[in-house]
Structure 1
Amino acid sequence: MSEATKTREELEAGTAALRTELKAVRKENTTLATERDIQQTATKLFASGMTW
C-alpha cells in the first residue's frame, strides 16, 4: 500500500511504533554510553597501576 492510500489510523499506528522503537534505542544508547564510561575509567585505573 502506498503512502498516499494509507488511512490516518495506519499512519498513526506507524508513528506510534516508530516512537516506541526510538524510545528503546535511546534507552539502549544511554546504557551503552554508561558501560563505555565505566570501561574507560577501569582502563585508566588498571593502566596507572601497572608497573612493568
Structure 2
Amino acid sequence: MVKKVLTWAGIAFLIFFVAYRPNSAADVFKSLGGGIMDIAQGFGDFFTSLVA
C-alpha cells in the first residue's frame, strides 16, 4: 500500500516538475543521461582493455 502511494506521489511530482519547470527538468534528465552514458562508456573501456 505504501509503495503504491509513493509511486503515485513520485509520478505526480514528476508531472508537476515537468509542467512548471520544463527547462530545469530537461537539465536534470540530461545530467542523468550523461551520467548513465559515462558509466556505460567506463564498462565498455574496461571490457575493451580486458580483451585487448
TM-score of the aligned structures, taking structure 2 as reference length: 0.61
Which residue in 1 is equivalent to 2:42?
Answer: 30
Whole-Å Cα distance in 1 between the matches of residues 34 and 20 of structure 2?
21
Partner of 1:11: 23
Figure out how many residues of one structure are paired with residues of the other and give that number. 34
Equivalent-residue separation in structure 1 for 2:39 and 2:20 (angstroms): 29
Correspondence for 1:39:
51
Distance 2:20 2:42 in 1: 33
Identity across matched positions, percent: 3
Relative contact order higher in (CA < 8 Å, ≥ 6 apart)? 2
Q: Which has the larger radius of gyration?
A: 1
Q: More helix by proportion, 1 or 2?
A: 2
TM-score (norm 1): 0.61
